[in-house]
Every structure is written in C-alpha cells, then in structure tokens.
Amino acid sequence: MAHQSDLIAENIEQYLKEHEHKEILRFITCGSVDDGKSTLIGRLLYDSKMIFEDQLASIEKDSKKSGTTGDKIDLALLVDGLASEREQGITIDVAYRFFSTDKRKFIIADTPGHEQYTRNMATGASTADLAIILIDARQGVLTQTKRHSYIASLLGIKNLIVAINKMDLVDFSQERFKEIKKDYEEIIPKLPHNEDINFNYIPISALDGDNIVSNSPKSPWYAGKPLMELLDTVEIHHDENDDFRLPVQYVSRPHLNFRGFSGTIASGTISVGDEITVLPSRKTSVVKSIVSNDIKDLRPIGKDETVETIETAYAPMATTITLKDEIDISRGDMIVKSNSIPKVSNKLNVMVVWMDEKPMELNNSYIIKRATSVINGSFKAVEFKKDINSFKEISADTLELNDIAKCSLSLDRQIAVDSYYENRHTGSFIIIDRYTNSTVGAGMIVDAQESQDNEDQTRDYTEAEIALNKYIRDNFPEWGCKEILG
C-alpha cells in the first residue's frame, strides 16, 4: 500500500506536468474607482476553483465585518489584502493573483482606480499582455477610464476587453450597453497605436457572475463569448523583434581560465560563431561558447577542461557567453549581432509617466535605469503634455503627478537605442531621484536624436586614465562615469 506522502508527491508531480507547457497570459484589471475590478478578480478566482475552503470561510466572515455587498460574499476581499484597503473599500497596492484553466495559466494584476495611485496602475500594466477596462454601467466612461486606456495603449498592450460591469443595476439594458460602447469607441482614435489593438466589449455582473464563465440568460441580446472564454482564446502578442539584444549584467570570472559575459537575453537568438558588436564601444568579436548554467557555481578547471555549453540561446534565457577576443565589456553594455546594430545616442525622445508628488524639474539630474545600465540624465524640454480629458497636446514646462508627456532626455553617456514599440525590455526605463532614491517616473523610448558626443572624447588618454575610467564604471555605475576610448 502506497504511503500517503507518496500519493501527495505523485499528485503534485502530475499537477506540475499538466501545467508545465500551458501558455501564460498576463493581464490587468483597470478603470475608475469602484468599477468592480477587485470583485471581478475575486469572481474569476472563485469560478476557477482557486479558493480553499478556509479562505472562503474567512471571506464570508470578513464580508459581514467590512464587506460592501450586503448579504452576498464580498469577493473583492480575496484581493484587497491591506488593512487600509479593506477599511476604505478600495485598492491601493497592485495585487497579483494566479489561476489556471484547462488551456492557459493566468497572472492577474489588480490595479488601483484612484487617480493618486495611477503610478501603481502603470507598474502593473508594464508587463501585461491584455487589459480589462472596467466601466460602471451607471457611471459610463470617466476620466480615469480614459487615463488607464491611454496608459495601457501607450505601454503596448494589444488586447483590450471593455467590460461594462454592474449591468444588474441597470436591468441588463441593451440600450445602456450600446450607449457606453459608443462613448468608448469615440476615444479609440485618440489612443496611441490604436490600429494595433484588438477591442472586445462584454456586459457583465462581477458580483453575480453573469457572462463570466458562461453566457447569462439575463442578457439574451449579447451573442459574444463570456469573459473566461475570451481570456482562454485571445491571441497573445509577444515582442516581434527578432534582433538579438543582451544587456550585460556582470562580467563572470569564477576562475582564471574563464571570462564570460552574463545577462538575460532581451530578444532574439545567439549561436556559437555569430559575429557580435558591443555597444556603445562598437568593438566586435565572435561568440566562442554559450554557457546556460550558473557560471558562479563552476569549480576551477584546468586549461584542457571545458564547461558544459549549448550551441544556441534565445530570449528570455539567462545565459553567459564567451568571446574569441579579449575586449573591454562592462555592466550596462549591450551585446548585439553585427548585422542588426541599433542606433547609439545620448539624446532621446521619450514618453514619460510622472509618478511623484514632487514635480519634474527641467535640467535637474536624475538617475536613468534602463535594463542593466545606470546613467545620469536630465530632461531638457517637455515637447507636449497630454490632457486626458480632451486628449489634446498642451505645452508645459514641468510634469506633475500622473502627467503623461513627450520629453527630450539627455544622458551623460551614449547607449544602444531601441524604441519601446520595437523592444519592451530595452526600450523602457525608470527615473530615480538622486537624493531620495525614489522611483519618480517611468519612460518609454520613442526614438534617438542626433548624438552630441563630448568633445573630450577626441583627446588621447593614457593607459592609466583608461584603466581608472574602467575601474570606476565597473565598480561605481551609479556615478554615471562616461566611457573614454583609447
């Protein structure tokens, strides 16, 4: 007779095997405050059988204490974990939850609806494949609905499901559904890259579960798919950029006989024998070997011994590559294939979402963190700021909390430049206050301006100066020291 622990182990292994090869869909719920975002996620978790009995009992108890749904279970409490969230009946932090169906695994980000927490919404949207825009059937399209839709499209999300919630409070009126759909369709032409976005509209009641798992008899006029089926069948758009990009995270020297360059591949593939270029130095070499395991755990080896290698690596693998030539490569450099070299510049046009209560100051020095590089930079001009109500471009000299704007960014040194819409990983960055170390904004690269190299780059440096420069860049990247070329 099998021991109980053996049976549990077998069940776990079977469960993991069933889920190992399922596709993952990351999505967010967003919209204005009290549109029912947390309740919808609670409903999805509940209907997908992802709630344990003790959790359900706890939620039933808490619903009587701090619920907002009368005699019904307040499913939003499954997601609103902070005490302040439960007390106020709102979402503040970004809450991540997981569930699965027979076809897919899902990672959900429940983002806040309050305007003051828009920065949290942008954080949740930055890695999402799909966004569910919740609209209260009684309220219709609000300013925050527009703001979240704009941010979702700005961040390159190509699937938007407009879920008109609380339809039970308007008696599942088809006329009201059509009215809100028409109002929302009027803002679509004003969203960035709207031609690449797939829109779906669905009437739901997250509280009662109407049109969530199956079509509700309360809305016989709705002939589309229920929400869960939409999530199961929607096409996931991955980055279509096949250009190889490897931001160097660190130089690996586990022993004297090995020198490799480690990082997570942002896009594309690399194979042994490929010619590569290191940016911004533009030095070239050929890939000698690719190591996929953790190079730090390698034991010292002799000259005649070799480590376990692979022939090809691809995104998003964490890998280490060695080169045939001994060239200077540091953390923050970008390794690319020589046949797909991006622009190199220190002058960028960028879209910025400002996330701090302290306004952005032109010409003030900020820390710009892009992939593995940490650089000092300053904003030279605000080209325009978006008025979310009218979607008009207005002039501005600064950015305040939740502002979205196109700006001119000047960096202390050159970097390899991919636009955000070509490559999410290498085209995005965060803005850090140098004194408080707080993240004050998020940015997306639009394109590169003509670079203005420092005149000092033309002078000849001694070997000692070059060595000192490299030591500072390797060990103190936060200083933003420019690279000097010999």
pLDDT at 56: 62
What is the C-alpha separation between 210 and 217, in angstroms, rounded? 8
Q: Helix, strand, coil % (nearest 5) of the chain?
A: 25, 30, 40
Contact 99, 106 (CB under 8 A): yes
Locate tokens 């941010």: which residue? Answer: 151
pLDDT at 46: 78
Amino acid at 225: K
| Span(s) in the chain for CATH 2.40.30.10 | 245-337, 343-453
pLDDT at 301: 54
Closest among 204, 445, 250 to 348, alpha carbons compared: 445
Residues with Cβ within 8 Å of 415's Cβ and at least 6 positions away in sequence, in order, are 279, 280, 334, 344, 345, 346, 370, 373, 375
pLDDT at 458: 45
Question: Is 3.30.70.890 the CATH number for 343-453?
Answer: no
What is the C-alpha separation between 76 and 175, in angstroms, rounded? 28
Low-confidence residues of the chain: pLDDT under 50: 1-8, 81-93, 113, 296, 454-458
Residues with Cβ within 8 Å of 403's Cβ and at least 6 positions away in sequence, in order, are 352, 353, 354, 385, 386, 396
Strand order, beta sheet including 104-110: 95-100, 104-110, 23-31, 130-136, 159-165, 198-203
Going from the C-alpha of 259 to that of each of 286, 295, 299, the distances in angstroms are 14, 10, 14
Q: At what angle do helices 118-125 and 143-154 cross, to 10 degrees?
A: 30
pLDDT at 457: 46
What is the C-alpha separation between 272 and 397, in angstroms, rounded? 50
CATH of domain 245-337: 2.40.30.10
Task: Name the phi and psi angles at 385, rounded to 5.
Answer: -120, 140
| Span(s) in the chain for CATH 3.40.50.300 | 15-233
What is the C-alpha separation between 347 and 447, in angstroms, rounded? 9
pLDDT at 221: 97
- Does this model's pTM top 0.85? no
Residues with Cβ within 8 Å of 21's Cβ and at least 6 positions away in sequence, in order, are none
Architecture of the domain defined by 15-233: 3-Layer(aba) Sandwich (3.40)
Q: Strand, coil or helix: what is 217?
A: coil
pLDDT in tens, 430-454: 999 999 999 999 999 999 987 655 4
